[in-house]
Structure 1
Amino acid sequence: MSVVEPVARQLAAYNQHNLAEFIACYAPDVRIYRMPAIEPSLQGRDALAHFYATERFTLPKLQAAVLSRQVVGNKVIDHERVTGLRDEPYEVAVVYEVQAGLISQVWFFAAD
């Protein structure tokens, strides 16, 4: 399995607001960081599922598009444009670490 596969699957599920398919792409002990924080903002599949069920997938226009993608070892680095979360689209760099076919860590770097 390519390291890109779980990242691509989670993005498709994100855009469909399909919580079960989205969460299935992540390791049970996944850690999510919103940089420059040094502690995870979310840890574990249950916390991730709760956050996306209550804070993201309730937004009907929420979508993300990959503007560019790079792969370095087991890291997938996406430059994404997110719409439907704020009044205007915004861009973010996201680094996904993939281990054993699942996303184990994610680092978000907001453009603003």
Structure 2
Amino acid sequence: MNALNVVVAQLAAFNDHDLDAFIATYSPDAVVTGVIAEPIVGREALIEFYRPRFENPQLSCEIETVVQFGDRWVTAREYVRNGDAVTETIATFDVVDGLIQRASMLKA
């Protein structure tokens, strides 16, 4: 699966609130930054962070623009919605061997 397909699968799982499918797109030692003050490291930490969020039916994400660079980098302009609140985000994903190794979020 190419990098863009992995990111699209991750987005679909996010919007479906399918925690297992979402986590399956990340490598066991993945690092996610920019979501909270400290990096989220590893699948277990991702599960702890996202489990309560996925219980919120108003949470969703839409990608407005996406670009793949080379074989492994994807950058997306996203809008994360939580009820009436919308957060514009620039997200970068480093995909290695079909799994997200590193994701970084820059919130507007």
**How high is the TM-score relative to the length of structure 2?**
0.92
Question: Once the 2 structures are TM-superposed, how far is the Cα of residue 89 of structure 1 from its aligned partner?
Answer: 1.1
CA-atom RMSD in angstroms: 1.5
Q: Which of 81, 84, 91 is the equivalent residue of 1:83?
A: 81
Partner of residue 44, structure 1: 42
Q: Note the residue ranges of structure 1 that are not aligned, 5 or more in a row.
A: none
Question: Once the 2 structures are TM-superposed, how far is the Cα of residue 88 of structure 1 from its aligned partner?
Answer: 2.0
Question: Once the 2 structures are TM-superposed, how far is the Cα of residue 5 of structure 1 from its aligned partner?
Answer: 1.2
Q: Aligned partners of 1:88 and 1:20: how far apart in 2?
A: 26
1:26 aligns with 2:26: yes
**How high is the TM-score relative to the length of structure 1?**
0.89
Letter in 1 for 2:12: A
Q: Note the residue ranges of structure 2 that are not aligned, 5 or more in a row.
A: none
Greater than 4 Å deviation, 4+ residue runs: none
Q: Which of 94, 105, 110 is the equivalent residue of 2:107?
A: 110
Partner of residue 101, structure 1: 98
Which stretch shifts more, 93-102 or 1-10? 1-10
Bigger fraction of residues in strand: 2
* 1:34-83 Cα distance to aligned partner (Å, 9 max, x none): 18x6xx520000100111002x1121110000000011121100000111
Partner of residue 51, structure 2: 53
Report percent identity of matched pairs.
35
1:70 aligns with 2:67: yes
Aligned length: 106
